[in-house]
Amino acid sequence: MAAITMNHIVKQYGDGFPAVNDISIDVADGEFMILVGPSGCGKSTLLRMIVGLEDITSGDMMIGDRRVNDLAPRDRNLAMVFQNYALYPHLTVYENIAFPLRLAKTPEAELDKLVRDASATLELDEHLDRKPGNLSGGQRQRVAMGRAIVRQSDAFLFDEPLSNLDAKLRGQMRTEIARLQKRLGITTVYVTHDQTEAMTLGDRVAVLKRGILQQLATPRELYENPGNLFVAGFIGSPPMNFLPATVKGSTVELPFGSVEIPAERAERAAGRGLLIAGIRPEHFEDASLASDSVRTGSTFSAKVDAVEWLGNETYAYLPFEAPAEVRAQLEQLEKDLDGEGLRTQLVVSLDGSSRIAEGQDAEIWVDGRRIHLFDPSTGENLTVDHEHAGRILGAEVNSGKA
């Protein structure tokens, strides 16, 4: 096993396009690192540079204390698990797992032990004599992982391994990969565009946008302290709401009314003019249900456009007006996130017992402690707690207008 260190890695393809633009990430020995971001942000390119399937334009790629830029893939001792698993259809599961050992001319007894150990770990014992074509997607995935395990590689690299599976199996496999990774303690880099996978699997998550690292932090840090609008909009489902806002003293003026926020947050955003406020759907509640124990927070009244009752929770949709300056930034953000286009409406997640109905003027409570404030020109989160936000890139390259 080994740490993987990426130092100022750049990849320019033949046409000059910087697919990966000066990315530095350190993956600790045994760590589960996620690379996440929308399509085309450079995730696969970065992964392929780690494995050696793509030349590195500049920067240093280190595995352990070896610089591997000029090493062939087979000399890097890494195991890549591809999306389509690349299993040999005419070989049994046993022989598929044994394949790299046969290539390396491993003695039969040792080979057999390694294959059987891997198969036990992966719960494939009863399938060893079967052919991959007769297996489920999840079983095939495990065979591919078995092949990686027997090679005793320094690290596992996954590129969207679950994207071919249906939702239920994807959930199962996610749990399985997480469990195996913990058990094997093997350094892992995992590429996905799915923020749920990123949140549930990663020890840390690197969020990429157009070849640039936006933030590198634990899932909790990303969620609670997103460094900029892009990360805030990308992490979380349903996504964070964005509204025009101005700060006066320790009060934020929102389209629906004013909300008290903690003084230190207000101070960091003071004297800035028009801002973008970010509030997650779950930080609202039906005012009649908001717990008495929650003293901070404010209530406001808003017209309810639509309601979706899910049993355990209720989504309510509250439209609002936004000035052109804020709209422009939010439209750009929607494009960056591959979104469905801008809709200026607040989505709030209320307790399932809420009786709020369509067409009503509803009393809504909001938790003022959780409101983020973003600079509308750079996208920088002004309220972020830098001590708990991991690594955030400078605001100049994070501008949504770039």
Position 157: which residue type?
A: L
Residue 215 binding partner per list Mg ion, ligand ATP, none, with a CB distance cut-off of 5 to 8 Å that depends on partner kind:
none
Q: Restricting to residues 11-30, name those near ligand ATP by CB under 6 A.
A: 13, 15, 17, 19
Minimum CB separation of residue 329 from ligand ATP in Å reads 23
Residue 240 binding partner per list ligand ATP, Mg ion, none, with a CB distance cut-off of 5 to 8 Å that depends on partner kind:
none
Contacts 24+ apart (CB under 8 A), 250-257: 252/277, 252/368, 252/371, 252/373, 254/300, 255/320, 255/321, 255/322, 256/300, 256/301, 256/302, 256/318, 256/320, 256/346, 256/364, 257/298, 257/300, 257/301
Q: Restricting to residues 34-63, name those near ligand ATP by CB under 6 A.
A: 37, 39-45
Minimum CB separation of residue 133 from ligand ATP in Å reads 26
* Residue 81 CA neighbour count, 13 Å, CB half: 28
Positions that interact with Mg ion (CB under 5 A): 44
* Residue 264 CA neighbour count, 13 Å, CB half: 5
3-state SS assignment for residue 142: helix
Give the nearer residue to Mg ion in terms of CB position, either 44 or 215: 44
CA distance 49 to 351: 47
Q: Let me know: does 274 contact 299? Beta carbons within 8 Å.
A: no
Residue 39 binding partner per list Mg ion, ligand ATP, none, with a CB distance cut-off of 5 to 8 Å that depends on partner kind:
ligand ATP
DSSP conformation letters of 80-109: EE-TTTT--TTS-HHHHHHHHHHHTT--HH
Give the nearer residue to Mg ion in terms of CB position, either 40 or 262: 40
CA distance 62 to 29: 12
Residue 140 binding partner per list Mg ion, ligand ATP, none, with a CB distance cut-off of 5 to 8 Å that depends on partner kind:
none
* Count of residues in contact with ligand ATP, rule CB under 6 A: 13
Give the nearer residue to ligand ATP in terms of CB position, either 336 or 367: 336
Give the nearer residue to ligand ATP in terms of CB position, either 31 or 159: 159
Minimum CB separation of residue 160 from ligand ATP in Å reads 7
Return the H-helix or E-strand segment holding 261.
none
Minimum CB separation of residue 54 from ligand ATP in Å reads 8
Q: Does 193 bind ligand ATP (CB under 6 A)?
A: yes
Give the nearer residue to ligand ATP in terms of CB position, either 45 or 153: 45
Minimum CB separation of residue 374 from ligand ATP in Å reads 24
Which of 307, 326, 325 is closest to 317 using CA atoms? 307
Give the nearer residue to ligand ATP in terms of CB position, either 42 or 278: 42
Residue 293 binding partner per list ligand ATP, Mg ion, none, with a CB distance cut-off of 5 to 8 Å that depends on partner kind:
none
Minimum CB separation of residue 223 from Mg ion in Å reads 24
Give the nearer residue to ligand ATP in terms of CB position, either 37 or 379: 37
Give the nearer residue to Mg ion in terms of CB position, either 44 or 119: 44
Question: Position of tokens 């709020």?
Answer: 356
Give the nearer residue to ligand ATP in terms of CB position, either 45 or 215: 45
Q: Is the backbone peptide bond immediately before 238 cis, with ω within 30 degrees of 0?
A: yes
Give the nearer residue to ligand ATP in terms of CB position, either 191 or 240: 191
Length, in residues, of the chain: 402
CA distance 231 to 374: 12
Minimum CB separation of residue 158 from ligand ATP in Å reads 12
Minimum CB separation of residue 48 from Mg ion in Å reads 9
Residue 82 binding partner per list ligand ATP, Mg ion, none, with a CB distance cut-off of 5 to 8 Å that depends on partner kind:
none
3-state SS assignment for residue 350: strand
Contacts 24+ apart (CB under 8 A), 144-148: 144/81, 144/82, 144/85, 144/86, 144/87, 145/81, 145/177, 145/180, 146/93, 146/96, 146/97, 146/115, 146/118, 146/119, 146/122, 147/79, 147/96, 147/97, 147/99, 147/100, 148/79, 148/80, 148/81
Minimum CB separation of residue 21 from ligand ATP in Å reads 10
Minimum CB separation of residue 196 from Mg ion in Å reads 17
Q: Rule CB under 6 A: which residues touch ligand ATP?
A: 13, 15, 17, 19, 37, 39-45, 193
